[in-house]
Structure 1
Amino acid sequence: MRLLFDVGNTHIVVGLYENQFLSVWRIGTQSFETEDELYSHLFPLLNRINIGEKDINAVVISSVVPSVNYILSRYAKKYYNVDAVFVSGIKIKDMKLDVDYPKEVGADRVANVLALKKYYGNNAIGIDFGTAITIDVVYKGNFIGGSIIPGINTQMMSLFSKTAKLPQVELKFLNYSVGKNTIDNIQIGIIKTVVYGIQQLLKDIEKEYDTKFKIVITGGIGKSLKGVIPEFNIYDQYLTLKGLNVFYEMYERR
């Protein structure tokens, strides 16, 4: 049984996998400072579904937060007696990272493109809505790059923290484009600009490569955006976790 960690700047998505995803949880990335504190978070969740320490035989991690990597390594060794496996672009095979600096590609993006290729084909684009929005392009089976955008909540919090009178607002995609109040103005200005900006970017990519790509959205906010434009038709909440599995199976075969 595998314990999978997708470590983001704000949250860690933890998946329990054995032939299928048995459970998925989210915990705060800054909610623990030691391996024992992490254990105190996860023990009741695992215990609730009758999973003990001896049931876990692998811990696989994609992390964009280096400060927690040592804690996760200690956690894996102390409680499961396994060495944590960290996703890295320099360790993959059967996919070329066709970018200027392959070693700089984030582990979450490596996981996403591995899952895109396996589950959605050799021409696919993944859009991960997190603290940052990452757009990853798989073309002819290889990762050829993409783009990074400040996340929707990141933009909202920046606006709220830098201005005296603007309120915090909920994420909501409105069906009109002229706001009559401050909240509507913010929702339209941030959310629609991001969504329609991505829509145009996707059209530009398909035109540039003369290819129709399978487009997949993921991330916590991604679910609420499914269907708001035709391109956002496929939502895969487990995309990154699936990529961790692909990487681990690749790692095991080496």
Structure 2
Amino acid sequence: MRLLFDVGNTHIVVGVYEKDFLYTWRIGTKSFETEDELFSHLSPLFNRENIKEEDIDSVIISSVVPSINYILNKFADKYFKSEAIFVTPKNLKSIELKVDYPNEVGADRIANVLALKKYYSENAIAIDFGTAITIDVLYEGDFIGGSIIPGINTQMMALFSKTAKLPQVELKFLEYSVGKNTIDNIQIGIIKTVVYGIQQLLKDIEKEYKRKFEIVITGGIGKSLHGIIPEFNNYDAYLTLKGLNVFYDFMKGAD
């Protein structure tokens, strides 16, 4: 079995994989400070599904939070006698990173485009809704760049923390576009501008490259936005975890 970690700024998606995904969980990125605390979170989840430590033979990680990589390394070594394998641009196979600074491309974005290429198309776009929204463009089988947008919750929290009277609001896409109260105003102002802004950006990308792209959305908030516009019809909750498997297979020469 493979133990997979998709480490984001707010949450970590944990997966146990064998031929197909067996189980997945989400834990807070800031919910542990040591490898032992991390194990204390995961151990009861493993026990509930009868997953034993000796069943895990590899640990693969996509992390955008360097400060906890040391903990993850120690966790893999102490509890699974395994060296943690981190997704990095170095020795990347199958895909070329055709950007100005390849070494700066985030591990999650690498995993996303690896999954796009294997499971979807050589001309595809991943939209990952997290603390930041990343748009990753795979063109003729290579990563050519994309864009980064402040996440919806990030924008909401910034507005809430910087103003005296504006409240925190839930994520909700409204059918109408003129708000009659403060909550409606915030939901329309943030969510609709993000959604329709991305929609226009996708049109611009297809116009620029004179090609239709297969579009896949992922990330926790992505599920809430699934289907609200035609471009958001394809939701894959485990796109990044799938990419971790692809990376591992390439590293081990299995694919």
Matches within 5 A, 1:74-93: 74-93=74-93
Task: Please name the residue that 1:177 is paired with.
Answer: 177
AA partner of residue 39 (structure 2): Y
AA partner of residue 4 (structure 1): L
CA distance in 1 between counterparts of 2:243 and 2:253 reads: 16
1:3–1:60 CA contact under 8 A, matched in 2: yes
Gaps of 5+ in 2: none
2:62 counterpart of 1:40: no
CA RMSD of aligned residues (A): 0.7
TM-score, length basis structure 2: 0.99
2:113 counterpart of 1:113: yes
CA distance in 2 between counterparts of 1:71 and 1:170 reads: 33
AA partner of residue 236 (structure 2): D
1:90–1:102 CA contact under 8 A, matched in 2: no
1:113–1:243 CA contact under 8 A, matched in 2: yes
2:12 counterpart of 1:17: no
CA distance in 1 between counterparts of 2:95 and 2:107 reads: 14
1:163-205 CA deviation, whole Å, 9 max, x = no partner?
Answer: 0000000000000000000000000000000000000000000
Shift of 1:246: 0.2
Task: Please name the residue that 1:197 is paired with.
Answer: 197
Task: Please name the residue that 1:125 is paired with.
Answer: 125
AA partner of residue 81 (structure 2): N
Task: Please name the residue that 1:145 is paired with.
Answer: 145
AA partner of residue 230 (structure 1): P
Task: Please name the residue that 2:213 is paired with.
Answer: 213
AA partner of residue 178 (structure 2): V
Identical aligned pairs, as a percentage?
78
Shift of 1:91: 2.1
How many aligned residue pairs are there? 254
CA distance in 1 between counterparts of 2:239 and 2:43 reads: 25
Task: Please name the residue that 2:51 is paired with.
Answer: 51
Compare 108-117 and 88-97 and name the one that shifted more.
88-97
CA distance in 2 between counterparts of 1:129 and 1:102 reads: 22
Moved over 4 A (4+): none
1:5-32 CA deviation, whole Å, 9 max, x = no partner?
Answer: 0000000000010001110000000110
CA distance in 2 between counterparts of 1:73 and 1:178 reads: 50
Task: Please name the residue that 1:5 is paired with.
Answer: 5
